[in-house]
Amino acid sequence: CPKYNIEPFITFTNLKHDCVDSTIPIVFDLSNPQAVTDAHNCLKALVTEGLKKGFVPYRLNIDQQQWLLNKDTDFWQTVNKIKSSLDPYNILSQGRYNPK
């Protein structure tokens, strides 16, 4: 992400002849607020562009998972109904496993 002042590191691991795993570490100065903002913007850009090309991230934090979930699908509407029935006060696993 040179656009965000982040050095572009990347690794590729061949899992099979037609399957590759890639890790892209985003290295930045946590004590620098602008670097933190740039790192978040870099991640968002990488995920957005990757999804357009069919690359799905295998690990995101709770908030970032929302980027991949479509709350309007029948599946997630059913999940939300079940969650609301079993946990009407939203005490368990807030923000996890279902779109907001």
Question: Could you tell me where the DSSP H helices lie in 1-100?
Answer: 33-52, 62-65, 74-86
**Span 3-52, pLDDT tens digits:** 999 988 999 999 999 988 888 999 999 999 999 999 999 999 999 998 89
Tokens of 14: 């061949």
Which has the minimum average pLDDT: 24-28, 29-33, 60-64, 82-86? 60-64
- pTM given for the model: 0.70
Model confidence band, residue 100 (pLDDT cutoffs 50, 70, 90): low
In this prediction, residue 42 carries a pLDDT of 95
